[in-house]
């Protein structure tokens, strides 16, 4: 028999099976039906909230001008430059956010139920896994238009670019495979059988291994990228959905949604150490220097910051009340970016102070995030 937490988790987005999380309007009824008491939390002082979601201008792929919400603080952003790309699962769009000003500068038609997203090394192309159409969209980042689509397996969910930029690995949740796309030809070069309901993929720094989190089989498939075959499987909890690899390649950080934990799996031995985080951790990311990992905890609306040296949570960052649904993360040396599926926002966190510095309104049910 399932516990209340497991039932609540099962009602959320089960990307591996192609189902989406129920709409926010259903949350109170669902919570009452399974006897879950949601206790409100008091977040820290509000950060700048930018009302920046604008519809696409017909025929151009560009957005209308953005505005700052009434009462929100104004001013510039981090000054880091670049673009942040967010897929909006229910809008079928891609939000393009200026990383310096935290403004949405374009809203681009993406495909059916866009989920995972990746950016080419040179920043010229953006790749989107469309779970509703079994295709990957290739967007020209210079004009924000789709230049081609690539057929893959059923329910493509996660997408990862190899360190050399030559291959895209796409997890096909309903096909139990990974499609390998040659970025030079935009064609599938290989299809690799993995575990059940693969959700996400991450690479070792040297690109020799790709690690695939299989939610349905409770393990990681370790792919030898030279032979494009699964070399072995590593046990990874009850429902591994997110995976990230430390810079030294020695550890895989795995978000175990049902287990309410992040597992630190030794890539050589398979030994796992559990770190307890908030309910429903869906994604995990490791900072560029490897000192900290970040877990997006769906249930409480938090991000847990994990000290990788001590294997424990050093601080918890409140992004909003239950229902905010922090979903996926991307970490750079300058910022931690978090998509909030329930709130329809992108949160920007300063990794030095662990303070929320901006909240950007994007589309409906934001899912994936990538940074150029």
DSSP states of 240-279: EEEEEE-TTSSEEEEEETTTTEEEEEETTT--EEEEE-SS
E strands of 5-82, at which residues? 48-50
Q: Are 92 and 55 in contact (CB under 8 A)?
A: no
pLDDT of residue 25: 28
What is the model's pLDDT at position 230?
A: 98
What tokens were used for 199? 């959700």
Structure tokens that stand for 95 in this block: 């939000």
Residues of the chain falling short of pLDDT 70: 1-81
CB burial of residue 363 (10 Å; 0-12, 13-18, 19+) = buried
Q: Which two tokens stand for residue 259?
A: 């287990």
pLDDT digits over 302-311, tens only? 999 999 999 9
DSSP labels, 347-367:
EEEETTTTEEEEEEE-SSSEE
At residue 218's C-alpha, the angle toward residues 179 and 187, to 5°, is 5
Q: What are the structure tokens assigned to 172, written together?
A: 């096909």
pLDDT of residue 103: 97
Residue 50: per-residue pLDDT: 54
pLDDT for 345 equals 98
Name the token pair of 28: 């109170």
pLDDT of residue 52: 43
Task: State residue 96's pLDDT score.
Answer: 98
Q: Return the pLDDT at 139.
A: 98
Q: What is the pLDDT of residue 308?
A: 97
Kind plus residue range of the DSSP H or E element containing 33? helix 27-33
- C-alpha–C-alpha distance, residues 202 and 170, integer Å: 11
Pairing of strands 355-361, 48-50: parallel
Determine the Cα–Cα distance for residues 60 and 26; give it in Å rounded to an integer.
Answer: 35
pLDDT, tens digit, 9 for 90 and up, residues 11-63: 334 333 333 343 332 232 322 232 322 223 333 334 455 544 333 332 333 33
Note the pLDDT of residue 81: 55
d(CA 275, CA 285): 14
Specify the pLDDT at position 30: 28
């Amino acid at each position: 028999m399932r516990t209340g937490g497991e039932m609540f988790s099962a009602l959320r987005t089960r990307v591996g099976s192609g189902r989406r999380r129920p709409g926010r309007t259903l949350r109170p009824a669902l919570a009452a039906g399974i006897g879950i008491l949601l206790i409100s939390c008091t977040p820290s002082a509000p950060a700048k909230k930018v009302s920046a979601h604008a519809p696409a201008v017909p025929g151009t792929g560009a957005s209308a001008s953005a505005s700052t919400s009434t009462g929100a603080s104004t001013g510039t952003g981090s000054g880091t430059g670049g673009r942040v790309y967010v897929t909006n699962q229910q809008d079928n769009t891609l939000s393009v956010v200026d990383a310096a000003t935290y403004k949405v500068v374009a809203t681009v038609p993406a495909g059916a139920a866009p989920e995972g997203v990746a950016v080419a090394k040179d920043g010229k192309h953006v790749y989107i896994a469309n779970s509703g159409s079994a295709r990957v969209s290739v967007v020209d980042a210079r004009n924000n238009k789709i230049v081609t689509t690539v057929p893959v397996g059923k329910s493509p969910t996660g997408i990862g670019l190899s360190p050399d930029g030559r291959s895209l690995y796409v997890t096909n949740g309903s096909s139990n495979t990974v499609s390998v796309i040659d970025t030079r030809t935009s064609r599938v070069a290989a299809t690799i059988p993995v575990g059940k309901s693969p959700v996400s993929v991450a690479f070792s720094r040297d690109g020799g291994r790709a690690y695939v989190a299989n939610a349905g089989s409770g393990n990681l498939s370790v792919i030898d990228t030279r032979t494009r075959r699964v070399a072995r499987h590593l046990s990874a909890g009850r429902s591994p959905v997110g995976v990230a690899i430390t810079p030294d390649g020695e550890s895989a950080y795995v978000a175990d949604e049902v287990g309410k934990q992040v597992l630190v799996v030794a890539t050589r031995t398979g030994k796992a150490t559990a770190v307890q985080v908030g309910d429903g951790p869906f994604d995990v990311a490791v900072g560029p220097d490897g000192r900290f990992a970040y877990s997006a905890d769906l249930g409480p609306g938090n991000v847990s910051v994990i000290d990788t040296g001590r294997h424990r949570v050093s601080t918890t960052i409140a992004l909003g009340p239950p229902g905010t649904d922090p979903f996926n993360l991307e970490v750079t040396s300058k910022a931690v970016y978090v998509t909030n599926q329930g709130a329809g926002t992108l949160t920007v966190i300063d990794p030095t102070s662990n303070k929320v510095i901006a909240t950007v309104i994007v589309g409906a049910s934001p899912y994936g995030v990538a940074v150029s």
